[in-house]
Amino acid sequence: RLETVNISQASADQRAGRAGRVAPGTAYRLWPQSRRLEPARKAEIAQAELSALALELAAWGVTADGAAALHWLDPPPAGALAQARELLLRLAALDADGRITALGRRMLELGASPRLAAAALRAPAPLRALMADLLALTEARSPLRGEQARNDDFRARLAALHAWRDRRGAPARSDADTGALAAIEQASKGWRRRLDVHTAASGVPDSHCVGELLLHAFPDRVARRDDANPQRYTLANGRGARLHENTALHGEPWLVALDLRHDQRDSLILAAAPLDPRVLERDCPAQFTCERTLRWNDERAAAEAFEERRFGAIVLDRRSVPVQARDALPALLGAVRAKGIDFLPWSESARRLRARMQALRAWMPELSLPDVSDAALLARLEQWLAPYLEGKHRLDALKPEELSQALAAGLDHEQRRMLDVQAPESLTVPSGQSRRLDYAEGEPPVLAVKLQELFGLADTPRVGGGRIPVTLHLLSPAGRPIQVTQDLKGFWERTYPEVKKELKGRYPRHPWPDDPWTATPTHRAKPRPR
């Protein structure tokens, strides 16, 4: 198929130079100035699939660690080489220690790519002629033309080859390229010689035969249809894939995907063959696993446990099982990480404690209080929160007061004492009443109090070792804000006379002394006359 890619800057310069050598003129580069081309073309080893290289290295006795020590012109990407070894392990070309197996050596001798060599060597003797055709077809462009050109059923290519072979000399099919079929036939002859097959395959094979043969080449691309979306499939390697709108494979529950176009989300299946899933246990028993999995249920706000039987990443069966305490804890912590720290059942008291701790940490760093910001708490969930989630299966089983205990547990005795003294939850005002301090990140704490309760107090209260003046929200007898200040002395001297003049008539039952410095503070109104 045709793919368009950006050329490198070096290629662009070379092409412009070639044009200039042919004849005088101007070379126009037809791309926006904002687009930056790669300086030079990447080495093939940095882009290619490396399973053949990994198999060669294993045959030389080079281990995974030893490959890095070789003197490469361009070293292979570590991730791509690791993926190649993982594929060879699936194909049984390498053992668990990364050493080449007897099958792996035979695959090298055959000369095909590791995927196709594995399939060819596992094919039963009666089907090796058919396997030779599949090897030739897989390595060639599709011979189909016209409306059949986008046919994603790989069996259609095989049918075209067999029809052409069986009717040699007869008029060619209009939907197939005769020249392409002749080239594929030549390649198939070569594979038949290597596989020691003396006669060519013909006719129409069983509907699942192609998929079962190619299963050994593409075990990671076994695909199961999504029950909710018949166009979408889950691959054994964990990726998603989809059929195109005019697919010839609609309704097939299981496929082996031979050719995929990788997209950001689900890959597009360009060629595949149906598969009978019953052969998976017979031919690929090592890829079946039974796993206990955990999942977070948002609606129930609880952890759920399942026992799943899988082929690779494809879930075949799932049954619900009781959640064990040791299982639930990672799920609960994972839900908090995913949802954020506000997902926890914070009480108002716990929120205030956290705000006080964070404020005092900023005001008095010498106390070394723990960081209780969102990011810090999320990073230390195992240390401060996990002990209080032990034995719980649901987040709402965590009591709000336990969150306060979890935060306070991070403070030693002296830090707790300093928190109560230097970032108190409330202050006792001259009236004798205790009034709450409200803390906000990056701001001084706020004390909302009726003006009459502060008579006789000259200086603004301070916290944080005397470094932080409290912001006073002075209230009228009705609890409405009159003034916001951090300079109480200045308020009594300059602003109080105006406030008294304005509010004395409105609130006659409350004291409005001429000298607030010596007046008795009170939170009560004058008693009504009898």
Place of tokens 């944080």: 464
Instruction: Answer yes or no: is pLDDT of 322 > 90.
Output: no
Instruction: Give the residue among 77, 91, 49, 308 at the shortest CA–CA distance from 221.
Output: 91
Q: Are strands 426-428 and 314-321 parallel, antiparallel or unpaired?
A: unpaired
Q: What is the pLDDT of residue 106?
A: 95
Band of residue 1 on the pLDDT scale cut at 50, 70, 90: low
Mean pLDDT of all residues in 305-334? 86
pLDDT the model gives residue 329: 85
For residue 277, pLDDT beyond 60: yes
Does pLDDT of 341 surpass 70?
Answer: yes
**Which residues, at least 6 apart from 341, have a Cβ–Cβ distance to it below 8 Å?**
374, 377, 378
Phi first, then psi: give them for residue 250, nearest 5 degrees. Answer: -60, 130
Task: Please provide the size of the chain in residues.
Answer: 530
Q: Does residue 340 carry a pLDDT above 60?
A: yes
Q: If you average pLDDT over residues 175-197, what whole number do you get?
A: 93
Query: Residue range 324-343: average pLDDT?
Result: 84
Tell which residue, 213, 223, 197, has the closest CA to residue 119.
213
Instruction: Between 231 and 293, name the one with better pLDDT.
Output: 231
The sign one gets for the Cα dihedral 519, 525, 529, 530 is negative
- 84 or 530: whose pLDDT is higher? 84
**Is residue 201 a contact partner of residue 135, using CB atoms and an 8 Å limit?**
no
Q: Name residues whose C-beta falls within 8 Å of residue 273's C-beta, 6 or more positions apart in sequence.
A: 153, 154, 155, 210, 211, 214, 255, 256, 258
pLDDT per residue as tens digits for the range 397-443: 888 889 999 999 999 999 999 999 999 999 999 999 999 999 998 89
400, 403, 405, 411 alpha-carbon torsion, rounded to 10°: -150
Task: Report whether 188 contacts 133 (CB < 8 A).
Answer: yes
What is the chain's mean pLDDT, rounded? 90
Tally Cβ neighbours within 10 Å of residue 367: 16
The pLDDT value given to residue 166: 86
- 171 pLDDT higher than 90: no
What is the distance between the alpha carbons of residues 42 and 262, in angstroms, rounded to a whole number? 20
**What pLDDT is stored for residue 182 in this prediction?**
92
Distance of CA 468 to the CA centre of its chain: 44
Output the six-digit token pair for 384: 């401060």
Beta-carbon neighbour count of residue 16 at 10 Å?
Answer: 13
Structure tokens, 237:
């390697």
Tens digit of each residue's pLDDT (9 = 90 or more) over 85-143: 999 999 999 998 889 999 999 999 999 999 999 999 999 999 999 999 999 999 999 99
Contact 233, 226 (CB under 8 A): yes
C-alpha 491/C-alpha 469 separation (Å) is 15
What three-state secondary structure class fits 476? coil
pLDDT at 422: 95
Largest CA distance in the chain: 127
Looking at residue 530, its pLDDT comes to: 57
pLDDT at 529 exceeding the cut of 60: no
Nearest to 233 by CA among 267, 192, 186: 267
Q: How far apart are CA 297 and CA 299, in angstroms?
A: 6
Q: What single string gives the DSSP state of each residue in 75-141?
A: PPPHHHHHHHHHHHHHTTSB-TTSPBPHHHHHHHHH-S-HHHHHHHHHS-GGGHHHHHHHHHHHHS-
Q: What is the pTM of this model?
A: 0.65
Answer for the pair 256, 215: CB distance below 8 angstroms, yes or no.
Answer: yes
479: alpha, beta or left, given left = phi > 0 and alpha = psi -120 to 50?
Answer: left
Report the chain's terminal Cα–Cα distance, integer Å. Answer: 102
Model confidence at 29, pLDDT cuts 50, 70, 90, reads confident
Mean pLDDT along residues 135-161: 92
pLDDT in the model for residue 112:
92
Q: Which secondary-structure segment (H or E) carries 311?
A: strand 302-311
Q: What SS3 class is residue 524?
A: coil
Half-sphere exposure of 348 (CA within 13 A, CB side): 3
Q: Are 310 and 288 in contact (CB under 8 A)?
A: yes
Stretch (H or E) spanning 444: none
Q: Which three-class secondary structure state does DSSP give residue 290? A: strand
The continuous run of DSSP H or E covering 407 comes out as helix 400-408
pLDDT: which is higher, 38 or 57: 57
Report the percentage of the chain scoring pLDDT > 90: 61
Helix axes 128-139, 178-194, angle to 10 degrees: 130
* Most confident option among 23-32, 259-268, 371-380: 371-380
- Give 37 or 310, the one with higher predicted confidence: 310
**Residue 172 clears pLDDT 60, i.e. is over it:** no
- pLDDT tens digits, 471-511: 999 999 989 999 999 999 999 999 999 999 989 888 888 89
